[in-house]
Structure formats: structure tokens, C-alpha cells
Chain A
Amino acid sequence: MTVQPVSFDLLDGLIQWLVVFAGFVATFTVVALATSIPLYGVSGPKRVISGAMRGLTDFVSISPRRVYAIAMLAFKESIRRKALLVFVVFAGLFMFAGWFMEGDAARPELHLTNLVAFVFLAMTWIVLPVVVLLSCWGLPEDIRLRSLHTVVTKPVRRNEIVLGRMLGFSAVGTLIIVLMAAVGYGWILRHVPKDVAMFCRVPVYGSISFLDRNGNPQEQGINVGDIVMTRSFIEGGSKATAIWHFPISHEVDELKIESRFEAFRTWKGNMDRSLRVRFTLVNDEKDLRVPLPAYEVNEFRYNEVLISRHQEITDEQTLKKSEVDLFKDLLVPFDPQNEVHRKLQGDASAGVLTVHAQCLDRGQYIGLSPGDCFLRLTDRSFAVGYIKATVGLWLECLLLVVIAVTASCFVKFPVAFILTSSIGVVGSFAYGFLLEIVSGKQKGGGAAESVYRLITHMNETTPLPENLFTKSIVAFDKPLVEGLGIVRYVIPDLSHYGTSEWLAKGFDVPWNGVLLPAMAVTFAYFLPCLLLGYFSLRLRELEAK
């Protein structure tokens, strides 16, 4: 049900960004130098270099006062063009939406999920199009009406115009989002059933590995026949085990493990009760095993297991009872040499806890994915989670403003709008697909090959017949697919911005795995876009054509 967030390595991202950025700058420089020679002869390269130097001084001498003036202008323009009217649409939506959102009495917490999902869906689809429309419209309109003429005859640098516009429309987006988020929050509070607890889980995820039925280490469990294997299964009543290692940051009196496993029955068994699972705390170094009481898997919800700091164990041979301390006896110190420890994400300063899970019903299976079991720290309030989710949407809004304003420096409104929306749609819904095509994981080949397969009714896994025609098709596709490889660096991965999903499912929006990369993506686009917009405005005659 939950997907464990992939931790984001800021330094790694930064390096990758620098490489891509430098690559683009180098490409532009080479192209500019090469085209300047036929245009201006030998003085061409000199012009390119002096133009670049002037760009540098323009960036060094950016004036906050002028940027603020332009930003305020864009803001006023949007407000006076009644951009806030969208807010009326939004509010109207909420007056009636409640009627259609009946909850299921048996599962009231799902109602909260629906409410949250609805609020964020509405915000996303109202805010983003409006802000993109405004951002794409501003500059081309300014050029068309020539009001920009009057502005650029003042001592304004073109980068200040681009930056000011970006900030101004971001401010509009921010205002709309804040207003809508406030209304949405009130609406959720009014409609959520009384008995539903509103909170955000703060999970600590571990790394998972498996033992098969004979007790041999495996990377994965068993596939029970799913086409897409989201969960590995372990067999009950055997030695098959799922092993988690959790990083522990500090000592507490009680640890909470939350799990949501899937049950898979190969025979009916006892239908009155669910499958049983037992957790065992293990310290291999000290050969210490502390079995916890078995519990029944609650299939469509989650199970909570509380582990108190002091556990009593009985020695199997001597039947002597003794007490162990979770932190003193069971944790192993974090070992940077250890393969498993190194995979852990999160603070392990207090040590690493090993937990084994086994199914107790012979012949039945339980399915689990890495994110299905986690340590649950003290819950955060719903309000905090709501704000974090809103911040995610806000960052997405900023990114789209940056892209839209940049596009509007090059092309007229309709083209800029279509371009930005396409980038937004591909980035949100098809980025994974794009990566698969580029990396060759997607079967069926490129554009021409897939047309060929469609016409000839050829399955995408069937190898192409070897002849000249198919070879030329593949050759034709090759540059297209490689072109997509570059597009992949141009189109942002917007999947990071789906922050509201976490909130809807009752989780805190993770900082490292979600908000940080979202911020990184927004900032990564900001500088190159500003540069592009600046050079476009400077090298263009701002005549309405």
C-alpha cells in the first residue's frame, strides 16, 4: 500500500545538475560561435564573447529594487485582470462537493483520504492552469502592446524583467494557493467524521531481505503469480523469513512497529481468523532472539505492535527467565563496513535493530514490500502534514511559472501555453515511461518500429524479422530515442510533487525523500531558465511581429 520514499542525495543531485548545466552551456557556446562566423565573419566570435561578458555583468548588477518593481507590476496586472476570480470557482466547487462525497460508515478513515485527495486535486487543477495561463500571457502581451518598449527604455536589464515576472507570477500563485488551502482545510474539518483521528504517521523505514523456506538468504521472496510483483511472499510454517534492519536514532521507552501485510491463502484453512505473523527481535552477534507475541494479520488495515524497552525471555533449555534491554542488548552499533547497514536511510546513531517476521500458518503465504513495515515515531499533527503537502503543490506551481515565463520569452502565448502544459503533463504522468523508452526497457522500440508493429499486428516482444527494411526502421528510430534522452534532461520529473498522496494515506510528507527533491528540481530549473529567458529577450528585437 505504501511506497517507501527513495532518499535523495543532494550532493549527488547537485553534481549531476552541474554536469547537465555545463553540458548545455558548452553546447550553446559552440553553436553560437559556429553560427557567428558565417553571419559576421571573423568578428563573429568576438561578438559572442563580448555578448556573454555583458550577460555576466547584467547578472552581477541585478537590482532588487527594479526586480521588485517588475514583480509588483506582474502581480498587480494579474490581480486587476481578476485572476482571483478562480478562487470563486474553487469556493463554489466546495459548496456542492460535500453532497457527493458520502463516506463509508464501516471505514471512516477512508473518508478523510477522499476529502484530502479531493481538496488537492481541485487545488492542483485550478491553480496550475491559471498560473500557467497568466505566466504565458504576460510577456507576449507586453511585447504585442509594446508596453515593454517603455520599460526597456529605462535602465532595466532584461534579466530583471524575466526574474521580476517569475517572482510576480509566483506571488500570484502563492496567494491563490494560500487562500485555497485555507478554505480546503476548513472544508475538510467540517466534513470529516467525528470518530476519525486526524494525524500523520512519521515512519522510519528499514531495509528488507529474505530467507527462503530452507533458511537460505535470498534477495526476494516468492512470486505468487502477479504480473507486476509489488510484494514478495513468504511461506508460512517454514523457515521462510522476512528480515528488516531499522536504523534507530535515540532511545525511547517504547517502539511501535506498524505493518500492513497481504494474506495469500493456498487453502481455506481457518476462515474465522486471519493468518498469524510473529515478529522476533534478533541480535545475531550475541545470538539473542526475543520472540514477540504472534498476531493476526489485519488485511485491509494495518497492525500495530508495541515493543517495550524491557523484554522478558525464557531460555529454551534451562527455562530460566531473564530480562533484556532493547537498546543495550538488542541493537548492534552502526557499522559503515556492513553491506546492509550502508543501505539504511536515516539516523542510526543509537544502532540498528533487526526484526524477523514469519508466517505461522503452514502452506499459507504473507506478502510484503519494503515499505509495508516500519517503525512509527511520534505522530505529527494533521495540520503540519497539510502545510507540507501544500508546500509541495506550491513548489510545483513555482516550477511551472519559471518554465512558462521562460517559454513566453521565446514564443507567443498559445505556443508558450501548449509547450508549458505539455511539459507539465509529460513530467507528471509520463516521466517514468520516458525513462523506460530512453533506457531501452520499454519493449517495442521507437516511433517507427511501433508503427510497423501496429500495422503488421506484431507482438512487442516478438523479435523483428531481419531484413533491410526493419534495419532502416531501427536506424531511423535511433536518433529519435537518443533525442528523447536529451529531452529527459529538459523535462522535469514532476512525480516528486505528489505530496498530497502521503497526507491522504495518513503519512507525514517525508522531507528527504519528497520535499527536498521537489525543492531541488524547482531550483535546478530556475537558473537555466532565467539565463535562457534573458538571452532570448536580449537578442530579440522586441517588435511585435
Chain B
Amino acid sequence: MSEAVIQIRNLSKIYRDFWGRKKVQALNSLSLDVNKGEIFGLLGPNGSGKTTTMKLLLGLLFPTDGEISILGKSASDVSKNEQIGYLPEESYLYRFLNAEETLDFYGRLFDISPAERRERTNALIERVGLQHARRRQLKEYSKGMTRRIGLAQALINNPDLVLLDEPTSGLDPLGTRDMKDMILKLRDEGKTVVMCSHLLADVQDVCDRIAILFNGELKELGTVDELLTEQDETQLLTSKLDAETIDELKAVLAKHNADVRSVTHPRNSLEDLFLKTVRTSQERPGQRYVPSAGDGDSAGGSPEPPAADAESN
């Protein structure tokens, strides 16, 4: 068992109104650990307490009950922030600053030399793909660009622990893919990542371990493989077979008492199709989808029929 970066014990949070009356029980006795170097996913429907958990970890909210240890410090200890990067749910940034100024401002809040700060600013703007908009004020940014600069801002101090609240919300599939790749890269760099999301595909693609929250209670916790592998089924993927071969195979399987449940052609996900379409049109601009004569219901915008996609995970 590797060392725990975050330890949460019996954490509860009750939101109260101005008069101290109970409004919402957002978290109920949550206990979990996040280990060093993993990507941990907090999964749950809207309002299940994911954001609340993150804010409690950061000391933005005060727990009603329970204990938090984050990087070995208490949540209210400001100095822990030196090693933490946080991407808020909506990118709560200053809309009157441009990308460079934003990174420069947040960089100044850390003990980084001016030269280093400039270097990191440039590198991060490049990393999140905002070179073209580096001098534009954030109020002109689209949602996706705001997410990107939000991520850059969270990485300005080269943190050991990154907390990402709905990192892919509002991003198009291309942006989502980029974001996921960037998250995976963070793990490769040895950082610990905690992300929360209600988008199941995102969590499935990147997370090592997940916790499922519902109504502030922990419902499920484990590695993605553990939780998702159907232990009593096996899937076989081959190149295209003709009907005879399939029958032959079925006979062999029947001999071994296996129960053949389905035989189909695999289908690509819409995500894969979309990504492929966009990439090819980037490579060959100007090419358009032309409906073939009398065939108005041809699927997709791809110039070629979809083939098996090597990029799918």
C-alpha cells in the first residue's frame, strides 16, 4: 500500500443559513484515502457532495464534523497550498485579466523567481493550447478556453497534488480528449490527481480508483478494473470472420460448455468517430461531406467509412 496523500475520516458537512438553521446535509460521515501518484475519481450525480468535499479539503469550507489530513497537514493550514493546484468547478478567475496576466498573478502568490514565473507561464499557455489567445481578456473566452486557463492556473506552482472539479464540464469532445490526456500526463509526472465528475466516460478513461457518492454518502470505492470487470464473462476480438468460421468456433465453444451470448461487429463510439472526423479535416481542410446520389441518410461526416480505430483505449 503506497502512502496516503489525503486522509478523510468521518467527514460531515451541514450547510446552515445565516441564522444557523440547517439547510442541507451535504456530506455524511465520509471516510476515504487517496494514495500518492494515483488519479482518484469522485463520481456522483449533481448535488451529491463532490464539490463540497473538495472545498473542505482546501479549507474553503469548515467541516461540521470529522478530520482531514492533506499532504500531512490540516485543511486550514495555508502552507499546504504551496503544493496544491486547484481547478474550481467554474473557472473562478478574474475576467479583466488576460491569460498571461492571470498566470503571472497566481504565480506571484507562490515563491517562484520572476524568471521561472515567466518561463512557466509560457510553457503552460502552450501546454493548454492557448497561444493564440494569450493577450485576450478572459471575459472574451469561451467556456472551453476558460477551462484550459483554469487548468494552467492550477499547475503554475508545479503542484504535487492536483484537485480538479469537473475538469471536462463544458468542453467539446476534442477538448475533453485533450483534458483527459493532460490529466494522464500529470500522473506520468508523478503527481496525485483528485478529480470529480458526473461524466462517467471521463472517469472511466482516466481514473485509477473511484469513489461513488450519493446524497453525501460513500456508496462504492475501488479500482476501476475491480469495479467494472465482469468476472464471469470473456470477450474475444478478432479480425472479420465469415459465417462458417463463426459456426465452427461456436461448435468448439459448445464443447467447452461456454454459453455464447452475442456475436456482433464491434461499433466505434461516437467520440472516436467525432475525433477522427475533426482530425482528418484538420489535415485536409476544404474537404466536405457530399451525400451520394439518392442516399440521404448516410451516417456521419467522415469521408471514409469508419474503420477500426487504433486510438481507442
Contact = CB atoms under 8 A, between A and B. Distances in A.
B108 interface: yes
A157 B82 CA distance: 12
Contacts of B97: 73, 76
Chain B interface size band reads 20 to 34
Interface string A24-67: 00000000000000000000000000000000001000000110
A541 interface: yes
A542 to B, nearest CB: 6
A68 interface: yes
Nearest to B106: A154
B136 to A, nearest CB: 13
A73 B105 contact: yes
A81 B78 CA distance: 31
A77 B96 CA distance: 7
Contacts of A73: 94, 97, 105
Contact of A150 (B61, B78, B106): B106
Given A150-B86, A150-B93, A153-B84, A545 B18 contact: yes
Given A147-B93, A150-B88, 20 more contacts: A58-B78, A66-B108, A68-B108, A69-B105, A69-B109, A72-B105, A73-B97, A73-B105, A77-B94, A147-B92, A150-B86, A150-B153, A152-B60, A154-B106, A154-B157, A155-B78, A155-B110, A541-B60, A542-B60, A545-B18
A543 B18 CA distance: 12
Chain B interface SS verdict (over half): loop
Given A150-B106, A543-B61, A155 B88 contact: no
A182 interface: no
A18 interface: no
Nearest to A77: B96
Nearest to B157: A154
B62 interface: yes
A292 interface: no
Contacts of B110: 154-155
Contacts of A153: 58, 60, 81, 84, 86
B292 interface: no
Interface string A60-92: 000001101100110011001100000000000
A155 B79 contact: yes
A447 interface: no
A146 interface: yes
B96 A81 contact: yes
Nearest to B77: A54
Contacts of A156: 78, 81, 109
Interface in A525-545: 541-543, 545
Interface of B: 17-18, 55, 58, 60-62, 78-79, 81-82, 84, 86, 88, 90-94, 96-97, 101, 105-106, 108-111, 137, 153, 157
A149 interface: yes
Interface in A141-177: 145-157
9 tightest Cβ-Cβ pairs between the two chains A and B: A69-B108, A154-B109, A146-B92, A80-B96, A155-B81, A153-B86, A147-B92, A155-B82, A150-B92
Nearest to B76: A54
5 contacts: A149-B92, A151-B106, A153-B81, A155-B81, A542-B60
B95 to A, nearest CB: 8
B109 A151 contact: yes
Contacts of A77: 94, 96
A120 to B, nearest CB: 32
A530 B109 CA distance: 20
A169 B19 CA distance: 33
Contacts of A150: 86, 88, 91-93, 106, 153
Contacts of A155: 78-79, 81-82, 109-110
A153 to B, nearest CB: 4
- In this complex, which of B18, B78, B84 has the most chain A Cβ atoms within 10 angstroms of its Cβ? B78
B81 A541 contact: no
Contacts of B153: 150
Nearest to B156: A154
A436 B190 CA distance: 70
A281 B86 CA distance: 80
A65 B108 contact: yes
Contacts of A541: 60-62
Contact of A66 (B88, B91, B109): B109
Contacts of B86: 150, 153
A162 to B, nearest CB: 14
A154 B157 CA distance: 9
Nearest to A65: B108
A172 B176 CA distance: 41
A543 B86 CA distance: 16
Contacts of B58: 153
A528 B121 CA distance: 38
Interface string A444-462: 0000000000000000000
A365 to B, nearest CB: 66
A154 B82 CA distance: 7
A72 to B, nearest CB: 8
Contacts of A145: 92
Contacts of B62: 541
Contacts of B81: 153-156
Nearest to A542: B60
Contacts of A76: 96-97, 101
Contacts of B82: 155
A196 B55 CA distance: 67
A411 B88 CA distance: 24
A147 B106 CA distance: 12
Contacts of A149: 55, 60, 88, 92
A66 B106 CA distance: 9
A145 B110 CA distance: 23
Given A153-B58, A157-B78, A545-B18, A146 B88 contact: yes
A71 B308 CA distance: 56
A337 B60 CA distance: 64
A80 B97 CA distance: 9
Nearest to A154: B109
Nearest to A155: B81
Contacts of A147: 92-94
B187 to A, nearest CB: 21
Contacts of B105: 69, 72-73
Contacts of B106: 150-151, 154
A146 B90 contact: yes
B85 to A, nearest CB: 8
A81 B95 CA distance: 11
B98 to A, nearest CB: 10
Contacts of A152: 60
A145 B91 CA distance: 10
Contacts of B84: 153
Nearest to B112: A65
Contacts of B78: 58, 155-157
B79 to A, nearest CB: 6
A126 B82 CA distance: 42
A69 B109 CA distance: 7
A160 to B, nearest CB: 9
Nearest to A69: B108
Nearest to A541: B61
A33 to B, nearest CB: 20
Contacts of B88: 146, 149-150
B75 to A, nearest CB: 11
